[in-house]
Amino acid sequence: MRFIIVFFLVGIALAMNAQPVEMVLWPDGVPNSVEHEIEEAVRTNNDVVTHVSNVSNPTLTIYKAEVEDNRNTPAVVICPGGGYVNLSIKKEGHDVAKFLAKNGITGVVLKYRLPNDEMQKNKTIAPLQDARKAISTIRTMADELNIQPGMIGVMGFSAGGHLAATASTHFESDMYQIDEIRPDFSVLIYPVASMKPGVTHMGSHNHLLGKNPDKTIEIQYSNELQITTNTPQTFIVHSFDDGAVPVANSLRYIERLTELGIECEAHLYKSGGHGYGMLPGHTDSWPGLLVKWINTLKN
């Protein structure tokens, strides 16, 4: 009943205005949690929240597509980056969702749990639990939000790109929910696709898996090794001079997608570094290219 009430209130808010609406992701209790006294922390700039850490109560913020005819549109669940230690929730979350909404695509910012042994029973699965729940929640609300139920994608930046890639390659482990949790397309922006030392971003690796994980779990979360013919069509952006997350993460993911005949559009820039989001510079063409790509997809 509580879930129905949440949906009802969100529907009223969306009908009344075009302002973003925030909703609790797990209204009936967050799974895989332990009692703790750690408080959520934020960083601000000019009174605007730019980063969030110590997330214990995940949320979705919905920016409904701005279309005059109220037609059904695609939607994208956005996973901000931050090395699995914080979320760059403005630059790689809300700013992106606003851009998508203005271009006829519903943007949904996922404030997901970050791996923390003091806050979760199993820290490694916590972000993926939230991503899966976000995808299934938006699919459940498709009619209410005027979303095409077969055009719900997942997007991630850096470590958020790892989460998006994990959500795009690990859904087959739960065959009972596969139709609910499988994204219809993926968008990976300078992603940490792999967990293999020498390729991965070691900060993300250590926060998610620990400093000395078993090699089996490193392979399990090296998403370029988990791609199957059921992995969704993918849009990838990376820069060759990325000093934080080697471009090899994207190149290996692209190679495997290509081997299996999965549609992939990649934009690899000569320069740009890391963490640029949609900021002006050498890489600022990708958001427009992404909108064009999404609009060519078939559900």
Contact 129, 141 (CB under 8 A): no
The H or E element containing residue 253 is helix 248-259
Residue 286 reports pLDDT greater than 70:
yes
Model confidence pTM above 0.85: yes
Determine the Cα–Cα distance for residues 276 and 295; give it in Å rounded to an integer: 24
Residue 13 reports pLDDT greater than 80:
no
Contact 100, 177 (CB under 8 A): no
Task: Give the pLDDT of residue 97.
Answer: 98
Burial class of residue 23 in the structure, from the number of CB atoms within 10 Å of its CB (0-12 exposed, 13-18 middle, 19+ buried): middle
Q: Tokens 């997350």 — which residue?
A: 245
Residue 33 — pLDDT band, cuts 50, 70, 90? very high
Residue 176 — pLDDT band, cuts 50, 70, 90? very low
Residue 16 reports pLDDT greater than 50:
no
DSSP, collapsed to helix, strand or coil, labels residue 91 as helix
pLDDT in tens, 116-174: 999 999 999 999 999 999 999 999 999 999 999 999 999 999 999 999 999 999 987 65
Task: Give the pLDDT of residue 70.
Answer: 83
Determine the Cα–Cα distance for residues 161 and 134; give it in Å rounded to an integer: 15
Contact 262, 231 (CB under 8 A): yes
DSSP, collapsed to helix, strand or coil, labels residue 58 as coil
Dump strand ranges (E) for the chain: 21-24, 41-45, 48-53, 59-63, 73-79, 106-111, 147-157, 185-189, 233-239, 264-269
Mean pLDDT of the chain: 93
Task: Give the pLDDT of residue 221.
Answer: 98
Three-state SS annotation for 94-163: HHHHHHHHHCCCEEEEEECCCCCCCCECCCCCHHHHHHHHHHHHHHHCHHHHCEEEEEEEEEEECHHHHH
pLDDT (average), residues 67-81: 95
Provide the pairing of β-strand 21-24 with 59-63: antiparallel
Higher pLDDT, 34 or 9: 34
Least confident span in 69-73, 103-107, 188-192, 225-229:
69-73
pLDDT (average), residues 276-288: 95
Domains and CATH numbers, the chain: 2-296 (3.40.50.1820)
Contact 110, 117 (CB under 8 A): no
Burial class of residue 81 in the structure, from the number of CB atoms within 10 Å of its CB (0-12 exposed, 13-18 middle, 19+ buried): buried
Half-sphere exposure of 38 (CA within 13 A, CB side): 19
Task: Give the pLDDT of residue 5.
Answer: 47
Residue 93 reports pLDDT greater than 90:
yes
Determine the Cα–Cα distance for residues 135 and 99; give it in Å rounded to an integer: 20
Q: How many percent of the chain have pLDDT more than 90?
A: 88
Residue 6 — pLDDT band, cuts 50, 70, 90? low
Q: Which residues contact 4 (CB under 8 A, 6 or more apart)?
A: none
Contact 20, 66 (CB under 8 A): no
Determine the Cα–Cα distance for residues 140 and 131; give it in Å rounded to an integer: 14
Alpha carbon of 177 to those of 31, 143, 207, 267: distances in Å? 17, 19, 28, 32
